[in-house]
């Protein structure tokens, strides 16, 4: 469509040959703009590889944050790879990226800046990167102070607003508390945590509550995650997120039903 518009403008300005030139100039401009709006990546496969390598490289940086990579941290990384079902070349790729991140001369700020630039029109890519880093950091059911500080550094390097990051972190921590949750009687504290997991207050109406729940569930839908640059072999973690969100929502729904 852009090419035909360019051809028409060119023809009206200077005749036939100007029309031909206008057609090709408009096509080239349109293709370049489309690539920029897609976040600067050339393909979905490149999206996924960049995301995958960046996640494991940053995990390597995190493991080295205290000056050395301990046996526990190596075991933790290997457990994450097993949890994601990585094997063969894919596992080797994850290990290589992790080791690269543990190197003293790893260019952390440059890596974050490059990812931020590549995803400048795709804030969802930056959000997903933070989500997966938080989830992997909490795989041992605890988020340490140095891990939180590193995550804030990552968010800053990705040019994510500090207030937005803190809200996202609080929501993710609350959601994680419902991992593998068995629904039963819930205390006031558990109910409050469920509201935080959905990013709403206890005063929210039923319609808004359901809207927030559906929005979160939609964000972690496999098709949407793949479209947003998440590798297929990392979708299991997204599935776990939907289970946590559903568990939190069911606690709230059950509580409201009992009060009605």
DSSP-derived secondary structure for 80-107: HHHHTT--HHHHHHHHHHHHHHHSTT--
**Statement: residue 133 has pLDDT above 60:** yes
For position 43, what pLDDT does the model report? 66
Burial class of 204 by CB neighbour count within 10 A (0 to 12, 13 to 18, 19+): middle
Residue 172's nearest CA partner among 208, 136, 122, 209 is 136
CA distance 84 to 91: 10
Residue 99, φ and ψ in degrees, nearest 5 = -65, -35
Q: What residues contact residue 54 under an 8 Å CB cut-off, 6+ apart?
A: 97, 111, 115, 129
Q: How many helices (H) and strands (E) does the chain have?
A: 13, 0
**If you search the block for the tokens 């094997």, which residue do you land on?**
87
Residue 100's nearest CA partner among 166, 147, 152, 53 is 53
**Statement: residue 190 has pLDDT above 80:** yes
What pLDDT band is residue 203 in, cutting at 50, 70 and 90?
Answer: very high
pTM for the whole structure: 0.77
Top pLDDT among 84 and 204 is at 204
For position 22, what pLDDT does the model report? 54
Which pair of tokens denotes residue 25?
């100039």
| Torsional sign, CA 11, 12, 13, 15 | positive
Measured from the Cβ of residue 94, the count of other Cβ atoms closer than 10 Å reads 24
Top pLDDT among 196 and 223 is at 196
pLDDT tens digits, one per residue of 17-53: 455 455 555 555 555 444 444 444 456 677 788 889 9
* 259 Rama sector, left if φ>0, alpha if ψ -120 to 50, beta otherwise: alpha
pLDDT tens digits, one per residue of 69-120: 778 778 888 888 888 888 899 999 999 999 999 998 999 999 999 999 888 7
CA distance 77 to 79: 5
Residue 236's nearest CA partner among 249, 226, 250, 246 is 226
Residue 121's nearest CA partner among 47, 216, 204 is 47
In percent, how much of the chain has pLDDT > 70?
80
């Amino acid at each position: 469509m852009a090419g035909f518009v360019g051809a028409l403008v060119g023809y009206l300005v200077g005749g036939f040959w100007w029309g031909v030139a206008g057609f090709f100039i408009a096509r080239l401009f349109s293709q370049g703009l489309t690539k920029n709006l897609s976040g600067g990546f050339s393909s979905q496969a490149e999206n996924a590889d960049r995301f995958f390598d960046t996640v494991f490289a940053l995990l390597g940086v995190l493991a080295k944050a205290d000056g050395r990579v301990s046996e526990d941290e190596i075991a933790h990384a290997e457990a994450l790879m097993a949890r994601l079902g990585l094997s063969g070349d894919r596992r080797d790729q994850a290990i290589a990226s992790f080791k690269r991140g543990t190197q003293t001369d790893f260019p952390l700020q440059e890596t974050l800046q490059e990812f931020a630039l590549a995803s400048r029109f795709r804030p969802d890519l930056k959000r997903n990167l933070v989500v997966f880093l938080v989830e992997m950091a909490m795989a041992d059911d605890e988020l340490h102070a140095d891990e939180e500080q590193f995550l804030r550094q990552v968010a800053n390097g990705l040019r994510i607003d500090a207030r937005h990051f803190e809200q996202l972190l609080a929501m993710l921590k609350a959601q994680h508390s419902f991992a593998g949750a068995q629904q039963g009687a819930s205390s006031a504290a558990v109910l409050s945590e469920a509201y935080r997991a959905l990013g709403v207050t206890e005063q929210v109406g039923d319609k808004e509550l359901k809207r927030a729940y559906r929005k979160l569930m939609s964000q972690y839908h496999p098709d949407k995650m793949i479209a947003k640059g998440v590798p297929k072999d990392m979708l299991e973690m997204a599935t776990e997120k939907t289970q946590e969100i559903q568990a939190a929502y069911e606690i709230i729904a059950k509580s409201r039903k009992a009060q009605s």
